[in-house]
Amino acid sequence: MLRCEFLNERDGGAQYDDRGLVMYKIVKKRVLNEAATTTEMVIEAPLVARKCKPGQFIIFRIDEQGERVPLTIADYDREAGTVTIMFQPVGQSTQMLNLLEEGDYIADFVGPLGRPTNMEGLKRVAVVGGGVGCAIAYPVAKGMHEHGIEVDMIAGFRSKDIVILEDEMRAGCTNLHLCTDDGSYGWKGFTTDKLKELIESGREYDEVVAIGPAIMMKFVCVATKPYNVKTVVSLNPIMIDGTGMCGCCRVTVDGETKFACVDGPEFDGQLVDWDELMNRNSFYKAEETEAKEHVCNLTGGVRRG
Amino acid sequence: MSLKKNPMPEQEPLVRNKNFEEVALGYTAEMAIDEAKRCLNCKNKPCVSGCPVNVHIPEFIAKVAEGDFDEAYKIITSTNSLPAICGRVCPQENQCEGVCVRGIKGEPVGIGRLERFVADYHMQHGHSDGAHKKPEPNGHRVAVIGSGPAGLTCAGDLARRGYDVTIFEAFHKPGGVLVYGIPEFRLPKAIVAQEIKKLEYFGVKVVTNAVIGRAMSVDELFEEGYEAVFIGSGAGLPQFLHIPGESLLGVYSANEYLTRINLMKAYLPEYDTPLKKARRIAVVGGGNVAMDAARCAKRMGAEEVYIVYRRSMEELPARAEEVHHAMEEEIIFKLLNNPVKVVGDEKGRVCGLECVEMELGEPDESGRRRPIEKAGSNFVLDVDAVIIAIGTSPNPLIKSTTEGLETNRRGCIVADEGMATTREGVYAGGDAVTGAATVILAMGAGKTAAQSIDEYLQNK
């Protein structure tokens, strides 16, 4: 069942699960930093690859029992029909994904979802990425840079051992400002301080794009507010379907209820209700912690039974 | 002849409200034959015109009465692609059974129960799918967007006429509302899977994980060689009440709550889907979706589950049978109560639902008596989760990516009586056109659209 030649099947090499559904092949896997906190995977998904743009995301599912997990598209190759994702193995599904290797298959990979990043009318932009958020900020910076926009990328990490994508980011923007909180690499300090320094020094931006943990995006918005620079953020609420059906990813923007999956994921950061978003994202913390122990200690990622 | 229908064997209410197995167990062959004999086989057949897909009801019932269940199945499936589903979820009381002549004095014939029996009998007795011959391919390709009841029916009818049909489904599993919305205890998912398998026997292809409007546009489907497109993308985004506290932890849309349970199987321990255990749950709304959510909540272990509805029992839009089942399962109906605020604790979690009592005034434009607040009657219902089931508004994805596709004021796709949209070769039906309605109405629309698409492509 479910064969559709031009879409999911490539060169007759597609793999099907026991229900006849197309599966998605992991064609490449790479650990991105010394501390192994971030993994990159290249997935064969021609239907996603043919049209996706920077700022959009996918939802993957490991297997029949797995959750639907959203991840931002980090890169794509339309010719090869592949899509690159980067993730931190922290929840049950991302940890199980991390245990898979090149040549393995996952059950589902759907996208592109969400609206692409707006690039129209922009001449100079600062893109701020925090931690693994750089994996998402990088394709936006690269996309803008390729679009002819001058991009200052400010990439912040806690310390040197978790730095990711330095070469890629450097190649994908006009100026890279790499920062670490502890000063173990690059400029010592927070991304918000670097951003303020740049603005104070007279760099004028049409827009600041902040992508990373909610708390970091909130502080970037606080930092840019006095300068009246439009600040776009990419939100990451809990999500199930990703196509505008379940309403789980609702966020309050300018007092209105918006759905991150169809109205976003990018919004004007000055208008986002950050405390509400952070609170909603904490809902399943306990389950996440429990799942982490479960995966690591009990099964080693193998499904029960 | 009895004035009453043969009763449907059911699981005991206080047993079934703790499990997800099917509530109604189905007729035995003896019961079915006995019930079929109640049909008067009247000449003008009001039941047939009461059915959105015009099942040849007296004819199939006559075969049941004879014990010829195979022939009965052939008669049903000559107009209805999904009998095992319709027999379970159609509101027969407003359709075929509502106009049954037997119903004038006593209860109507249990048409839905008989349809279900025939479909289940066919599945269980392993007859080949060859109740109908595979059609000769006619060489035309049609794309169907969405695999809910409208899309499945449209695809099934076209495939039976020889069309090469591909269904594009956004989720990882086909079935639409039949798999993510309607719970297992009303419609076992194995039955949905079997009905879809039957469509595949007729050559229907299903592509999952395909979001039309994002991965591909309607125009690109035409570029890929599809000659007509049917849009059955469903009811869309959940509506909220727009009262304070709706973003607190523990407030769900019915779509989210039901999807976690039905599609993502949160009730089975081997699935990873998290769902917080709640002790007392309020479900806001009075439709079938509200009943489904409330009955799921009970089965997930909530001690008390409330239906909070601002009008009275008389205006409650859910099917009588669903309300009856919910009451038997100890769902508490808080009628004439309107929520005004979700109350949260210091950690932002739901700890109550503030409501105000209502009374009914003069009829409003919907013809129902308008509920009016009783000043000063506010009270707080002690709950730790709230499920909002007050309807949906259309999904903008396809509309915003398809030029020339007109929508109405509410955002629903505009379609004529033949389900043709304002774009040539594009047809639409089901909730995407009507707003949230029933499975059978969506199926009726899918059927009409299939007919129109057939005429369109044959005359092209």
DSSP state of B53: T
pTM beyond 0.80: yes
The shortest C-alpha distance from A77 to chain B (Å) reads 15
**Angle at the Cα of A134 (from A131 to A136), degrees rounded to 5?**
125
Q: Which pLDDT value is given to residue B272?
A: 87
Looking at residue B364, its pLDDT comes to: 84
Burial of B276-300, coded b for 16+ CB within 10 Å and e otherwise, reads bebebbbbbbbbbbbbbbbbbbbbb
Nearest to residue A221, comparing CAs of A274, A148, A292?
A274
pLDDT digit string, tens, across residues A51-75: 999 999 999 999 989 999 999 998 9
Distance from the B235 Cα atom to the nearest Cα atom in chain A, whole angstroms? 8
Instruction: Please give the C-alpha separations between residue A152 and each of A208, A217, B330, in angstroms, as whole numbers.
Output: 9, 17, 61
Q: In angstroms, rounded to a whole number, what is the distance separating the alpha carbons of residues B361 and B200?
A: 53
Least confident of A12-26, A76-90, A177-191, B293-307: A12-26
Question: How does residue A227 score in pLDDT terms, banded at 50, 70 and 90?
Answer: very high
Tell me, yes or no, if B219 comes closer than 8 A to chain A by beta carbon: no
pLDDT of res. B130? 54
Q: Where does residue A103 fall: left (phi above 0), alpha (psi -120 to 50 degrees), or beta otherwise?
A: left
Which B residues 253-312 touch A at CB under 8 Å?
Answer: 253, 255-256, 259-260, 264-265, 270-274, 276
Asked if B214 lies within 8 A of A22 by C-beta distance, the reply is no
CA count, 13 A, side-chain hemisphere, B349: 13
In sequence order, what are the beta bridge partners of B343?
Answer: B352
Question: Per the structure block, which two tokens stand in for B410?
Answer: 């509410």
pLDDT mean across residues, chain A:
87
In whole angstroms, how far apart are CA B208 and each of A277, B76, B147? 31, 29, 9
C-beta of residue B345 within 8 angstroms of C-beta of residue B337: no
Q: CA-CA distance, B418 to B447, in Å (whole number)?
A: 10
The residues with which B10 forms a beta bridge, in sequence order, are B24
What residues of A are in contact with residue B246 (Cβ under 8 Å)? 257
CA distance B177 to chain A (A): 11
Q: Phi, psi at residue B64, to the nearest 5°?
A: -60, -45
From the list A7, A112, A273, the residue facing B207 with the nearest CB is A7
Q: List chain B residues with pLDDT less than 70.
A: 126-132
> In this structure, is the dihedral angle defined by the CA atoms of residues B194, B235, B278 and A283, taken in order, positive or negative?
positive
pLDDT at A302: 52
Q: Which residues contact B222 (CB under 8 A, 6 or more apart)?
A: B229, B425
**Identity of the residue in B207, B242, B395 whose CB atom sits nearest the CB atom of A244:** B395
pLDDT for position B52: 87
**In terms of Cα–Cα distance, which of A106, A105, A84, A92 is closest to A39?**
A84
Identify the pLDDT of residue A3.
38
Contact A61 B172 (CB under 8 A): yes
Q: Looking at B164-266, list the stretches that DSSP marks H as alpha helix, in order from N- to C-terminal side.
A: 177-180, 189-201, 218-223, 254-258
**What tens digit of pLDDT does each residue of A283-295 get?**
888 777 776 665 5
Phi, psi dihedral angles at A209 (to 5 degrees): -115, 125
Q: What is the structure's pLDDT at B91?
A: 87
Cα A21 to Cα B197: distance, rounded to the nearest angstrom: 13
- Tell me what ipTM this predicted complex has: 0.90
Is residue A205 over pLDDT 90?
A: yes
Q: Report pLDDT for A13.
A: 47
pLDDT interval class at A2 (50, 70, 90) = very low
Nearest chain A CA: its distance from B429 CA (Å):
18
pLDDT digits (tens, 9 = 90+) for A181-195: 999 999 999 999 999
Q: Judged by CB atoms within 8 Å, which residues 162-201 of B form the interface with A? A: 166, 170-172, 180, 197, 200
